[in-house]
Amino acid sequence: MTAIVSIKGLRKAYASGMEALKGVDLDIEEGEILALLGPNGAGKTTLISTICGITMPTSGSITVGGHDTLKGYRGARQLIGLVPQEISLEPFETVWSSVSFSRGLFGKRRDDAKIEAILRQLSLWDKRDAKTMELSGGMKRRVLIAKALSHEPRVLFLDEPTAGVDVELRKDMWETVAQLKADGVTIILTTHYIEEAEAIADRVGVISGGRLLLVEEKAALMQRMGRKTLSIELTEPLEEIPDSLGLYDLEFGPDKTSLLYTYDRNAERTGIARLIGDLTEAGIVLSDIATSQSSLEEIFVGLVKEDGA
């Protein structure tokens, strides 16, 4: 795999003195979907803005497709599409002219068929002659995506693309992202919705306080950090958990006919076998057992807490 975006020792201090990035190193591989997770103010937007040329780095270097983003900004920016976090559109322009403008700005030859295809894919075709100010928030977000795609970028940045967007649109966007990935576009998205990263990312980066805490394959991350829950269905409800089972830290499920046992799947001993033995000994009859993986969200909250400690 080759890195299409390569970031080395990137620092950014705003004029206010606020140090938003405190030395970020990151290689983004061509064709992957990378999700950047982090709480508000972590530096996600600053990172993206610096790669795209909207903010100036204080130190460090960035290359996109081998082009330095300062010295070779034309080559670098040519490859990049950006969907910003804030919705901003020329209010009096139509969808069509707004998207066509973006293509022109990137120096691409006029191609009405291409613009039509993008608008159709994003369900904007019917709205092509509408002024952008007449559109709903979700539709505006789609226009921003259409603008970013208009010049056929190789790398697409989506800064919280589904914030405040309804479920249907979110699904649509995920489909669009999957389609783009199939076309070989590298996608970097920031999000608050962990399930988004979980659903579509190949790798997940966790950023907090201007530092990239880790970047890992999503599956590996979940495995490494993953805690699992064993839920045990009982044939008869229990009044209370017997003292003999105290060391397992059991909890009741939604009602008293199930018990929940949380364990670290990577631990040498999960304790499951012994627990089942002890349950039988206590005279509790099981009807069923099931395991579930903890979500990225739980993993993420754990990581950020660790960082803060």
Partner 1 sequence: MNAGAIWAIYRFEMARFFRTMTQSFISPVISTSLYFVIFGTAIGSRIEEVDGLSYGAFIVPGLIMLSVIQQAISNGSFGIYFPKFIGTIYELLSAPVNFLEIVAGYVGAAATKALFIGLVILGTAAFFVDLSIAHPVAMIAFLLLTCLSFSLLGFIIGIWAGNFEQLQIVPLLIVTPLVFLGGAFYSLSMLPPIWQTITLFNPVVYLISGFRWAFFDQADLPILLSLFAITGFTAGCLGFVWWIFRTGWRLRD
Ligand X SMILES: Nc1ncnc2c1ncn2[C@@H]1O[C@H](COP(=O)(O)OP(=O)(O)O)[C@@H](O)[C@H]1O
At CB < 8 A and 24+ separation, what contacts does 243-250 make? 244/278, 244/281, 244/282, 245/275, 245/278, 245/279, 245/282, 248/275, 248/278
Residue 134 to residue 145: CA distance in whole angstroms: 17
Question: What residue ranges bind partner 1 (CB under 8 A)?
Answer: 14-15, 49, 52-56, 73-78, 80, 82, 84, 86, 88-93, 97, 100-109, 147
**Using CB under 6 A, which of 42, 135, 156, 206 touches ligand X?**
42
146 or 304: CB nearest ligand X: 304
| Of the candidates 269, 278, 264, the residue with the CA atom closest to the CA atom of residue 229 | 264
Binding site partner of 141, from Mg ion, ligand X, partner 1, none, Cβ cut-off 5-8 A by kind: none
Site for Mg ion in 71-100 (CB under 5 A): 85
Binding site partner of 170, from partner 1, Mg ion, ligand X, none, Cβ cut-off 5-8 A by kind: none
- Binding segment toward ligand X, per CB under 6 A, in 10-18, 94-102, 117-125, 233-241: 10-18
Residue at token pair 């409800």: 237
Cβ 46 to ligand X shortest distance, Å: 3
Cβ 90 to partner 1 shortest distance, Å: 6
- Binding segment toward ligand X, per CB under 6 A, in 39-47, 86-94, 101-109, 257-265: 39-47
13 or 241: CB nearest Mg ion: 13
Indicate whether 45 belongs to the interface with Mg ion (CB under 5 A): yes
Cβ atoms of 264 and 295 closer than 8 Å: no
Cβ 33 to partner 1 shortest distance, Å: 21
Binding site partner of 109, from ligand X, Mg ion, partner 1, none, Cβ cut-off 5-8 A by kind: partner 1
Indicate whether 40 belongs to the interface with ligand X (CB under 6 A): yes
52 or 275: CB nearest ligand X: 52
**Using CB under 6 A, which of 4, 5, 10, 20 touches ligand X?**
20
Which residues, 6 or more positions from 191, have their beta carbon under 8 angstroms from its beta carbon? 35, 36, 37, 160, 161, 162, 163, 197
- Binding segment toward ligand X, per CB under 6 A, in 33-41, 169-177, 181-189, 253-261: 33-41
By CB atoms closer than 10 A (0-12, 13-18, 19+), residue 281 is exposed
14 or 223: CB nearest partner 1: 14
Cβ 74 to partner 1 shortest distance, Å: 4
Cβ 45 to ligand X shortest distance, Å: 3
20 or 232: CB nearest ligand X: 20
Indicate whether 46 belongs to the interface with ligand X (CB under 6 A): yes
**Using CB under 6 A, which of 9, 14, 25, 277 touches ligand X?**
14
Residue 127's alpha-carbon distances to 116, 118, 122, 163, in angstroms, are 11, 13, 11, 22
Site for ligand X, rule CB under 6 A: 14, 16, 18, 20, 38, 40-46
Site for Mg ion, rule CB under 5 A: 44-45, 85
